[in-house]
Chain A
Amino acid sequence: MHSRMIRRAAEDRRAWIGEGRRMSTVVESGSGEPPEPAKQRLSFSGSGSEYFGIWLTNLLLTIATLGVYSAWAKVRRLRYFRGNTWLDGHAFDFHGRGGRILLGRLIALALLAAFQFATSFGLSFGIAGGGLLLLAAPWLAIASLRFRAHNTSYRGVRFEFEGRYAKAFPAYALWSGLSAVSLGTLAPYASRAQQQYSIRRHGWGGRSFDTSVSVPELYGAMCVVAFAFLLGGLLAFGGGMFLGGVFFEDGGEPSPESAAFIGFVIGLVIYLPILWGLLFYRASVWAETVRDAGFDAGRLRFSTDFDPGRMAGIQLTNLFGIVATLGLFAPWAAVRAARYRLESLELTGDLETLDLEGRGAASEAAAGEEIGGFFDLDFGL
């Protein structure tokens, strides 16, 4: 049944190419002899107020359906962000189906609840749970990268992701484990392993992406992070001494109220630089990944003027906006971060001469049949 459908589609395709030969001449006439490759920047056309309506509807319908709608809400959200991301006159598209996301979420929720509950029983349960989670991590990463890629399309062609547990194991379990054991000092190696694995396994129309991540550059970012942590520690220590002096100059016992106040200030002074540092590192990994990325053996090259410090600043102020407005700022925050990230990306090369063939954007049923199986679930909450 399925193969017959494909054959029929192929016959139709031949027929159309036959009658529309002009099409290829239209495409090629524009290029002439290209003296230097064209540069194109990604653009993002979403707006906070427009997304607010979608976000709010998602929230209310999710509540009204006791969470069931959340899967379809995710489809709306991803479609909004992909559909407003433009490159060379075309927007990206997302084709995920709510039912599959719901199934993935139920499994993820069960795992998360089991893990949370196990940790609350004590350390040994937590360590056992963490170990199991680490072993499952490559599998979860593959499933979710695959789902995202297969359900995202550009110019009518879906992206691809091919991953095997054995190959993903070093990136998502071994290095993550070593990074955790080394208290994060090996994090750049883990980041490099993950980013290179993930990008190189992605394809579009049968051609693959490539990137190389520099570990020294990431250690440079780690130095900035370490400085932020140190600053936080010093501020907390100094602030604690100062406040302690102000509140307890009579040498008396601290009251629970002033202890709570001092605890909060010290907590905040440590929390903010650490959070900024984590955001900065994550943004640096992203910048380092796209800085040297390419497609189809270098026929397309990515470049970026993305500033990780600015991204961390945007995300930190977003958090304050969200807390201060009891969450209502969240849609503007998401749009702000997405716009900065996407619009910093530039692509060099001629998209027009790439004649790619892959899985279709609109053929949802066929794609679902062929990919199928249990692996195509989205575990990202």
Chain B
Amino acid sequence: MIPPGEAIGGWCFEDGRSRRVRALLRVDPPGRAVLCEENGAPIRESEWRDLSWNAPLARVPRRALFPGGVVFETTEVEAVAAWEARFSRPGAWSWIARLERLGPHTLLFALLALAVVFSGARWGVPALASYLAERIPDEARRQIDVESVRGLDLLALEPSDLEGSEFARLQLLFDAAVADAGGEGSGYRLLTRGGGGLGANALALPGGSVVVTDELVRLADSDDALYGVLAHELAHVERRHGLRAMLEASFVALALVVAAGDASQVAQFALTLPTLLVTRGYSRGHEAEADADALAQLLASGRDPACLAVLFEKMSPAARPEAEDADSSALWTWLSTHPSSAERSRKLRAASSESRCHDAGDR
């Protein structure tokens, strides 16, 4: 605390000129600011309330503009704060500067920030993405499908070589799955392709196109398994998972760029890893939802969920019940886009009353 009449040191400029002179500032009660050179020669005098000070911030120098364009700059930030408290009403920035100083409240702030960031990532982003995804027009969704199929055909997939009868069987199952899900007239469309690098796989695109690879059709030896796969993919479309994933990835990337305060291309590249780790979590959530829908639909239409489990086990050895240590890979499941195969398979088998399908081990 500076006693009345005591002066603080600093520099004085004419505003807009780099030439400087050492100066002293004191405030005489009831609020008269006196600026003079070190030898006592007066420079300026003014009422305290007529000075315009920059906002307080940590130990950053304070700067006052005197009426008429003389600037006083000082590192004595505590003295200036004390004068402000005494001679003027502290503004909002003094209050914020106090919040910014470390103290017991900082710990509370840190916990609050962690809680907000965690719940924002866990619930906020998915909720917002889901809200927006519901409002994207159908025409836009179909356009995404057209472009996506073009890209997939160019980069990953090959023309289908399924025989007519195989395709007809799949189309019948697809129509049944669409009808059971109550989705007739919603623009659902079945496409078959050679899997290429993707192998046995099925994809749902936002506009309602479901792509099934020949390899998957041949690997599945029961209608119930194929029906389950189609129900799973239709659930992705119905719940707008594709759109939601796009929006979620954009939100996370945007939030990280804003938090990092750097939108350069290097920063955007650096943030791909954190973005990936977060969005993988969303993806597993989407898969779990689609699995649950598919299971419900399998049961409702009187089909056997265990048949889908058998298909999963054929696709992934780790999903087989006899796999010696199904949990050994649990550490890495958080990197995966899908829930663990063993877990998915176990859930399906638990829901099946009597198995009609053969175990993968018997083939």
Q: Which residues of A does B touch, CB under 8 Å?
A: 8-9, 12-13, 16-17, 19-20, 22-24, 26-27, 45, 49-54, 56-57, 59-61, 63, 70, 74, 76-77, 79-80, 83-84, 89-91, 93, 112-113, 116-117, 120-125, 154-157, 205, 252-253, 255-258, 260-261, 263-264, 268, 271, 274-275, 278-279, 282, 319, 323, 326-328, 330, 334, 351, 354-363, 380-381
If A9-B15, A84-B60, A257-B333 touch, whether A326 touches B69 (CB-CB below 8 Å) is no
Convert B247-271 into 0s and 1s, putting 1 for each residue whose CB lies closer than 8 angstroms to a CB of A. 0001000100111111111100110
CB distance from B199 to the nearest CB of A (A): 8
If A83-B61, A381-B257, A381-B261 touch, whether A355 touches B17 (CB-CB below 8 Å) is yes
Chain A-chain B contacts (Cβ-Cβ < 8 Å), number: 239
Tell which of A53, A61, A256, A268 touches B102, judged by Cβ atoms closer than 8 Å. A53
CB distance from B127 to the nearest CB of A (A): 14
* B11: chain A residues within 8 A (beta carbon): 89-90
* A358: chain B residues within 8 A (beta carbon): 16, 18
Closest to A275 in B: B270
CB distance from B102 to the nearest CB of A (A): 5
Question: Is B68 within 8 A of A122, CB to CB?
Answer: no
B71: CB under 8 A from chain A?
yes
* A122: chain B residues within 8 A (beta carbon): 143-144, 146-148, 150-151
Tell which of A17, A252, A260 touches B335, judged by Cβ atoms closer than 8 Å. A260
What are 18 A-to-B residue pairs whose CB atoms are below 8 Å?
Answer: A22-B41, A63-B120, A79-B55, A80-B57, A83-B61, A93-B61, A120-B246, A121-B140, A122-B144, A123-B150, A155-B20, A156-B13, A253-B316, A275-B266, A330-B259, A362-B54, A363-B65, A381-B261
Given contacts A12-B70, A330-B260, A351-B18, 20 further A-B contacts (CB under 8 A): A12-B69, A24-B19, A27-B19, A53-B58, A53-B102, A56-B109, A57-B100, A80-B58, A83-B61, A84-B60, A122-B147, A125-B147, A253-B316, A264-B332, A323-B277, A326-B117, A327-B117, A362-B65, A363-B15, A381-B263
Question: Is A257 within 8 A of B318, CB to CB?
Answer: yes
If A20-B21, A122-B151 touch, whether A360 touches B69 (CB-CB below 8 Å) is yes
* B100: chain A residues within 8 A (beta carbon): 53-54, 57, 76
Interface size class, chain B: 35 or more
Question: Is A252 within 8 A of B69, CB to CB?
Answer: no
Closest to A51 in B: B58
Give the interface segment out of B26-34, B226-234, B336-344.
Answer: B336-344
CB distance from B11 to the nearest CB of A (A): 7
Closest to B151 in A: A123
Q: Is the interface of A mostly helix, strand, loop or mixed?
A: helix
B59: CB under 8 A from chain A?
yes
Convert B115-137 into 0s and 1s, putting 1 for each residue whose CB lies closer than 8 angstroms to a CB of A. 01100100000000000000000
In whole angstroms, how far apart are the Cα atoms of A148 and B58 in the complex? Answer: 21
CB distance from B262 to the nearest CB of A (A): 8
* A256: chain B residues within 8 A (beta carbon): 315-316, 318, 336, 338, 341
In whole angstroms, how far apart are the Cα atoms of A381 and B254 in the complex? Answer: 10
* B250: chain A residues within 8 A (beta carbon): 113, 116-117, 120
Most buried by A among B17, B39, B106, B117: B17
Question: Is A257 within 8 A of B110, CB to CB?
Answer: no
Closest to B109 in A: A56
